[in-house]
Structures are given as structure tokens and as C-alpha cells.
Structure 1
Amino acid sequence: MNPFDAVILGIIQGLTEFLPISSSAHVQIAQQALGLGDMSKPQLTAFIATIQLGTELAVLIYFWRDIVRIIRAFFGSFSKRRPQTIEAAKDAKMGWLIILGSLPVVVIGLVFQDLIENQLRSLWVIGVTLIVFGLLLGAADRFGKRQKGIDSLTTRDGLLFGLGQALAVIPGVSRSGGTISVGLMMGYSRQAAARYSFLLAIPAVIASGFYQFAKTYQDLATADLAATAVATLVSFGVGYSVIVVLLKYLNRGSFLPFVIWRVALGSTLLVLLSTGALSA
């Protein structure tokens, strides 16, 4: 892969990671439709998982204060030397909920790893999931009560958020789209669902990215490793900007534009595949 291809894929990753439209789907569509880089499906899966580390670094920096506070409160909850404040107790609970919510995607990712890297990595699958889960997001956004804040999280809700995130192992579903849809269905506000989605993704994305990189880097040429590094850095810069804009937008805006985009892109993809204009 050359540096130009890496920059393009890094920009696409950064633009789409936090939007409920599936970054992995967009990176794969661009890679196959535009011929960016020459990668097998397992290599593409590893590439996508690795460059997601860039966008996850953006999350770590943007939510740095929240993350440090949650970690301190979480480990502080094991100490009985001094009682926790109400706020510290909430932060410790958030730490537990993030751990609990991360379990489904870890289990499903390991059990169905071969299926995810090969059979499901098809543009036919992506086209269908873009449409189906786009419509589910639209329904959740339209009919959800959107009254709960992030402080209303319970153990049950944390697990259900995690199951929503686990759906993202299917290309085209979207990690943020799955968790946000579940959150909206449970009555959480748009911003609360998105905010928790970002925090919940941290353990899973970091673990997956380093695991895939460690598993595949020896099989990659120096140029491919350099291109992956470039794409990761680019995705970080673009991704940080998207977080800032998206959270401000969700104070008033709806998810309808993303629903329309998902359905339009999925439909176009299926038409191109059906006519033979694009190969799966």
C-alpha cells in the first residue's frame, strides 16, 4: 500500500468511526471500489482493526479527564480506608459497567473470528446490514423516549449496550450505531447514548487493534507497516474533530441524516453488486 492510499483510508476511518454509519464498511468499500492497496480479507480486517487505534486515541484524549476520574474511582472502590463520595461511587460504577459491557464483543469476536475475517467480510453483507441497521437506528431515534442521562445506567443497561456493541463484529452494523440504537431504544438521550458508546468502545478497540497488529505485522512488508502507521495517524486527527462536532450536533440534531446515508449507500452497493459493476 502506498502513502496516498493510506491517507485516503485514514481520512475515511476518522470521518466514519464515531458516526453511526460503520467505519469498517466504508474503509472496505473504498478499498475495494477504488483499488486502494492490495490486501486479502484477513489482512484488511487486521488493517481496519489497527487504524482504529488512531481514532481510539482521539477518544482517550477527548475524554481524558473522565477516563482518569473513572479509573481512580474504580480502583479506589476496593479500598476501605476512606468512604467514597457520591460522585466517586458513580464513576466507579461506570468503570464496572464498561468492563461488563465489553465482555460480549470479546467473547463473540474470539468465537467467530474466522467467520468475521472471511465469510462476513463481503460487500453483500455490508450492503444489507447498512440498510437494515440504518432503519433500526431510524426507528430507535424516532420512537425512543430520549429522557435518560448517562447517570441512569444500570447493570442491565450496561450489558445491553455491550450486546449492541457486539453486533458491530458484523461489517456494516457500526460499533457506535449498534450501541446508540440500543441506548435510544432503552430511553437514553442521543448525547448520552453517543457518549457512553465512545467510552464503551475503548477497551474493545484497543485490545482488538493490538491483537490484530501483533498477529499480522510479521507477514506485512515494510511499506505496508509504514502505510498502516500513516493511516492510523491520519485517522486520529480527523477522528478527534468528528467527536467535537458530533457531540455538539447531537444537542439538537437527530440521526436522520445518517439513516438516509446508510440506506442510500447500502442500496447503491447492492445495485452495483447485482449488475456486476462491483465485485463482492
Structure 2
Amino acid sequence: MDWLQVVVLSLVQGLTEFLPISSSAHLILVPVLTHWEDQGLAFDVALHLGSLSAVVIYFRQELWRILLSSLMAIKGRGVDQDARLGFWVCLATLPVSIAGFLLHDLVSAGMRSTVIIATSLIGFGVLLGYADMRRGGTQSEYQLGLKEVLWIGGAQVLALIPGTSRSGITMTAALLVGMSREGAARFSFLLSIPVIVLAGGWEALSLWQQPQAIDWPALALGTLLSAISAYLCIHYFLVVIKKIGMQPFVIYRVLFGAWLLWFFHG
């Protein structure tokens, strides 16, 4: 891999992983527009590690409180809001974990066409716009109940469809059950931690079974750039949605999906 490829792929991954615009939709364009060879599984693992580092560092205080409270709950000292939030994150991750394991081959082999990606971009983008327009909720991630968590966790399964956007569909579901924009985004970002761990772990296992030559400098730079861009993305997204909401991202999704249909099938 040359350095330009490392930089472009790292920034695309970092900037689109947490925005509700679908990283898979953007990543399919890179080899098409640049004619670069596949970057390899090791580099994919490095990019996931960068994204994971960013969200863990950003939510480090919340995660530390969740860990301590969960340990206290296990010892029988009561369940506070932090321990409950940690349980909700684990519970909401179960549906997509099970579905991802069972449907992995189908999704990776049969659902990565540009038609599916473009249609998902547009359709789920419009749904996000509807959820944002009808919002009025004020719930934070600490005020969720069992029904809301199961709804959001079930919706996350739809993220297996390329072009849907994991962050987009979880924010949509969260807005529909009465969460605030910031609360929906923060819960979505917390949900990304176990999902990225599972996805990265699956790729790492495949890499272990099929060892490849590793370009360590490229992996180090890719991890760093992915982490920095993802951290900045999380920070500024939470600032921006308070002021302008989700509609700019909805418009972008619809236009991008329409362009994909025209570019590949027009």
C-alpha cells in the first residue's frame, strides 16, 4: 500500500464510522474511483482498532463509571444508573451479534450490490429524517427502559444490510422511542463499542487463520489516523446535532444514494 491509500482509507473509515451516512457505502467508492488493490484484512483490523480507540477514549469517564458500578452490582451492592446502562448496552448488542453470526455469509456474499446500498441509503435516510422531524423526546441514555432497549437493539440488526448505517438506524430507533438527539447519538456510540470489538475480533480470527504479510508502518499510521478522525467526528457531531439536527445528513444520504444509482446503473 502506498501512503496516499493509507491516508484516504483511514480518513474515510474514521469519518464515516460514527456518522449516520454508512461507512460501507463510502468504502465501495474508493477502489472504484482509485483502482487501488484491496488493502487486506490486516489493515481492516487496524482501522477497526482506531475507531474503537476513539470511542473508548471519548467515553472513558462513562465507561469507567459503568465498569465500577457493574462490579458493585455483581457484589450485591445495588444497581445504579451506570450499571443499568452497561446492562442495556450488552442487551441491545445481542440481536445483531446473533444475526451477524448466522447471516455473515449471506451478507458478505449476496447483499453488497450497489443497488442494495443505494436503496438502503435513501430509504433508511428518509426514515431518519422522519424520526428527527417528529422528535420531541428528552430522554437521555440513562432513562431508557427495557422496551426501548429491545427496540433499538432489534433495529440494529438492520445495519447488517449494507448502506443502512449502524449509527443511523440506532439513532432512528432511539428518536422514535422518545430520546433526545444527543441521547440517541450517545447511546448509539456506546453500542458501537461491543459491535466493533466483535467485528474486529472476527476479522482478527480470520487473519490468524490466513496469515498475510503485514506492513507495520502502514497499519500504525492507519490506526492513528482512523482514531483521530473518528474522535473528532464524535465530538463535533454531538455539537452539531444540537443546533441543526439530522436533516443535513438525511439530504446527503438521499443525494449520495441517487448518485450511486446513476453512476453504477444510469
Tell me how far apart the structure 2 counterparts of residues 261 and 223 of structure 1 sit (CA, whole Å): 36
State the identity as a percent.
37
Q: Secondary structure at the match of 1:101?
A: helix
- 1:54 corresponds in structure 2 to 50
Superposition map of 1:231-246 within 5 A: 231-246=222-237
Tell me how far apart the structure 2 counterparts of residues 274 and 226 of structure 1 sit (CA, whole Å): 38
- The alpha-carbon deviation at position 151 of structure 1 amounts to 2.2
**Letter of the aligned partner of 1:160 in structure 2?**
W
- The alpha-carbon deviation at position 13 of structure 1 amounts to 0.9
- 1:12 corresponds in structure 2 to 12
| In the alignment, structure 1 residue 68 sits paired with structure 2 residue 59 | no
Q: Is the 8 A contact 2:43 2:222 kept in 1?
A: no
Which whole-Å deviations, capped at 9, do the CAs of 1:127-176 have from their partners, x for residues lacking one? 11111111110011011223222222011211211122221111111111
**Letter of the aligned partner of 2:18 in structure 1?**
F
1:107–1:97: structure 2 CA closer, same or farther, 3 Å change rule? same
- The alpha-carbon deviation at position 48 of structure 1 amounts to 4.7
- In structure 2, runs of 5+ residues without a counterpart are none
**TM score, norm. by length of structure 1:** 0.88
Alignment: residue pair count = 266
1:35–1:229: structure 2 CA closer, same or farther, 3 Å change rule? farther
Tell me how far apart the structure 1 counterparts of residues 235 and 72 of structure 2 sit (CA, whole Å): 30
Tell me how far apart the structure 2 counterparts of residues 129 and 230 of structure 1 sit (CA, whole Å): 32
Which whole-Å deviations, capped at 9, do the CAs of 1:12-36 have from their partners, x for residues lacking one? 1111111100112211222333223
Q: Is the 8 A contact 1:50 1:212 kept in 2?
A: no
Tell me how far apart the structure 1 counterparts of residues 204 and 33 of structure 2 sit (CA, whole Å): 24
- 2:143 corresponds in structure 1 to 152
- 2:265 corresponds in structure 1 to 274
**Letter of the aligned partner of 2:3 in structure 1?**
P
Cα root mean square deviation, aligned: 2.0
Which whole-Å deviations, capped at 9, do the CAs of 1:87-130 have from their partners, x for residues lacking one? x6111111110110010110111000111211112222111111
Tell me how far apart the structure 2 counterparts of residues 27 and 233 of structure 1 sit (CA, whole Å): 18
**Letter of the aligned partner of 1:29 in structure 2?**
L
Tell me how far apart the structure 2 counterparts of residues 5 and 176 of structure 1 sit (CA, whole Å): 25
- Flag as ranges the 4+ runs of structure 1 deviating above 6 A: none
- The alpha-carbon deviation at position 206 of structure 1 amounts to 1.0
1:49–1:221: structure 2 CA closer, same or farther, 3 Å change rule? closer
**Letter of the aligned partner of 1:156 in structure 2?**
K
